[in-house]
């Protein structure tokens, strides 16, 4: 813990990953742990971790990188934070993100621009950009992020670390500030696959506080790291190596497939024909859910309240106008529109139907194959400022990560080579609740 704070002190002036540090509480917690007998200590005991700032922490400021929650101090812990404590982990502080997890570059934070440790002129990705950057910079060995449409995997790829989006329902969302409840999942970001497997096991499991958390057994994921992938069947969707995906990203995947073949796996090209609708489907559904979820930020219940307003309606209007950033407002407007009577059938309902088709594409492939492999992102990390004025180009960055959230399947990003001195990510996707196979393949490749 002390080393972690030293490293933050030395590097965070450049990386700007942390929004809030937890120095007092962390040092007290670490000191208390010294008293725990050795036999009672699990594999993660005493290790420092950073937590994305949309995961609530009792007594520790939690902002979701929004002005509307600038001074918000929660009065309870998210279930995952409670589980970290049970594992003996020490929360070092809260990590920057795109406001309410809406974004792909951390540039939508109301507070600061986190930078990519590999090249400070480049973005770390988003929305869990700082969760990936802090691990890449060695400020913390572990962090938690959240992934609604790629927000763990894309930053992990951009920063050259390992990031897992678990199966929807694997990890409790209780205490995760909701963006799109049917897509959001919390997951681990680490420097290697073994650490990732340990951390996922620690945070997984059924939770009575989240009715969408699944009643399935939590395996010992680390036991899957055997190195043996002989006979493993890999599907490679042609859509993930097609138009819009950069040459370097494609080549990196083909090289990785050679390595996996060398280890005894076999691969074939397949098609996920409805992939082309994923981006539109995602932005309609996620914005619709966000417009409903973010209705609670009204200036009465939480955080920021506009001053000098004359009546209740004006107070709502002014609080939300001043408290939310541009991207959040854009999504609330889009979502409200898609849910309005007269438009609901044409947009929201249609998107729900398309979501089912996208999920069925995955189901079909998993009847014959163990994992699906492709790139995590079309390109390596782009420059700060490069895409911020063009939301559609920014959204297009997510084409390879969004389908998995719509289908609810788990997927990991692991480092796989470089382009222009910046890391690239390999994405390995598994069937529902089969994170073990993903970890097995990732570890064999690593
Ligand atoms: N970049 C995507 C978006 O802006 C995904 C975000 C996320 O996964 N939280 O919505």
* 193-209: pLDDT as tens digits: 999 999 999 999 999 99
Choose one of 151, 153, 294 to mutate for the ligand 1 pocket test, by most ligand atoms within 8 angstroms of C-beta.
Answer: 151
Say yes or no to pLDDT of 344 above 90. yes
Choose one of 100, 127, 144 to mutate for the ligand 1 pocket test, by most ligand atoms within 8 angstroms of C-beta.
Answer: 127
pTM flag (> 0.95): yes
Residue 127: cis peptide before it, omega within 30 degrees of 0:
yes
Determine the average pLDDT of the residues in 51-74.
Answer: 98
pLDDT at 302: 86
> CA 102, CA 431: separation in Å to the nearest integer?
26
Distance in Å, CA 313 to ligand 1 centroid: 30
Say yes or no to pLDDT of 244 above 90. no
Calculate the CA 103 to chain-centre distance.
11
Say yes or no to pLDDT of 392 above 90. no
Angle value at C-alpha 415, between 369 and 433, nearest 5 degrees:
40
Q: How many beta carbons lie within 10 A of that of residue 368, not counting itself?
A: 10
Say yes or no to pLDDT of 396 above 90. no
In a 3-state reduction of DSSP, which class is residue 373? strand
Say yes or no to pLDDT of 393 above 90. no
pLDDT at 397: 86
Return the percentage of the chain with pLDDT > 90, whole number: 95
Say yes or no to pLDDT of 384 above 90. yes
Dump pLDDT digits (tens) for 11-56: 999 999 999 999 999 999 988 898 999 999 999 999 999 999 999 9
Q: Indicate the pLDDT class of residue 8, thresholds 50, 70 and 90.
A: very high
Determine the average pLDDT of the residues in 49-75.
Answer: 98
Distance in Å, CA 285 to ligand 1 centroid: 12
Say yes or no to pLDDT of 243 above 90. no
Say yes or no to pLDDT of 430 above 90. yes
Determine the average pLDDT of the residues in 48-70.
Answer: 98
Determine the average pLDDT of the residues in 435-444.
Answer: 98
Q: Considering only CA atoms, which residue is closest to atom 5 of ligand 1?
A: 149
Determine the average pLDDT of the residues in 2-17.
Answer: 97
Active site residues: 52, 127, 151
Return the percentage of the chain with pLDDT > 70, whole number: 100
Q: Which atom of ligand 1 is nearest to the CA of 104?
A: 1
Dump pLDDT digits (tens) for 309-339: 999 999 999 999 999 999 999 999 999 999 9
Determine the average pLDDT of the residues in 347-357.
Answer: 97
Choose one of 398, 400, 411 to mutate for the ligand 1 pocket test, by most ligand atoms within 8 angstroms of C-beta.
Answer: 398
Question: Which residues touch 156 (CB under 8 Å, ≥6 apart)?
Answer: 125, 132, 162, 163, 189, 376, 413, 414, 425
Which residues have any ligand 1 atom within 6 Å of their CB? Answer: 101-104, 127, 147-151, 179, 286, 398
């Amino acid at each position: 813990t002390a080393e972690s704070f030293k490293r933050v002190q030395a590097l965070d002036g450049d990386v700007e990953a942390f929004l809030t540090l937890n120095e007092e509480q962390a040092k007290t917690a670490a000191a208390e742990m010294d008293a725990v007998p050795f036999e009672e200590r699990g594999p993660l005991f005493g290790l420092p971790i950073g937590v994305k700032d949309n995961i609530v922490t009792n007594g520790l400021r939690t902002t979701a990188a929004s002005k509307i929650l600038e001074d918000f101090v929660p009065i309870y812990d998210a279930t995952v934070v409670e589980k970290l404590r049970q594992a003996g982990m020490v929360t070092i502080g809260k990590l920057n993100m795109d406001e309410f997890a809406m974004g792909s570059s951390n540039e939508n934070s109301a507070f600061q621009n986190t930078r990519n440790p590999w090249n400070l002129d480049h973005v770390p990705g988003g929305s869990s950009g700082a969760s990936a950057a802090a691990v890449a910079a060695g400020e913390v060995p572990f962090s938690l992020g959240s992934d609604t449409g790629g927000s763990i995997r894309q930053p992990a790829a951009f920063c050259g670390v390992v990031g897992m989006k678990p199966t929807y329902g694997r990890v409790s969302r209780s205490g995760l500030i909701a963006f799109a409840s049917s897509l959001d999942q919390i997951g681990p970001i680490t420097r290697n696959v073994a650490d990732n497997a340990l951390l996922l096991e620690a945070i997984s499991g059924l939770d009575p506080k989240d009715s969408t958390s699944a009643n399935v057994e939590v395996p010992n994921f680390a036991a899957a790291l055997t190195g043996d992938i002989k006979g493993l069947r890999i599907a490679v969707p042609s859509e993930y190596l097609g138009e819009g995906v950069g040459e370097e990203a494609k080549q990196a995947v083909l090289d990785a497939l050679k390595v996996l073949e060398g280890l005894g796996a076999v691969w074939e090209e397949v098609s996920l024909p409805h992939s082309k609708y994923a981006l539109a489907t995602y932005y309609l559904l996620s914005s619709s859910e966000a417009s409903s979820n973010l209705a609670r930020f009204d200036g009465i219940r939480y955080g920021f309240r506009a001053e000098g307003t004359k009546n209740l309606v004006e107070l709502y209007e002014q609080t939300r106008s001043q408290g939310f950033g541009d991207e959040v407002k854009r999504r609330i407007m889009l979502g409200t529109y898609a849910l309005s009577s007269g438009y609901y059938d044409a947009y929201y309902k249609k998107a729900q139907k398309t979501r089912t088709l996208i999920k069925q594409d995955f189901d079909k492939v998993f009847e014959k194959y163990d994992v699906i492999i492709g790139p995590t992102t079309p390109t390596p990390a782009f420059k700060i400022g490069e895409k911020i004025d063009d939301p559609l180009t920014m959204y297009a960055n997510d084409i390879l990560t969004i389908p998995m959230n719509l289908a609810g399947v788990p997927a990991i990003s692991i480092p796989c080579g470089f382009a222009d001195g910046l890391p690239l990510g390999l994405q390995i996707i598994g069937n529902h609740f089969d994170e073990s196979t993903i970890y097995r393949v990732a570890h064999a490749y690593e």
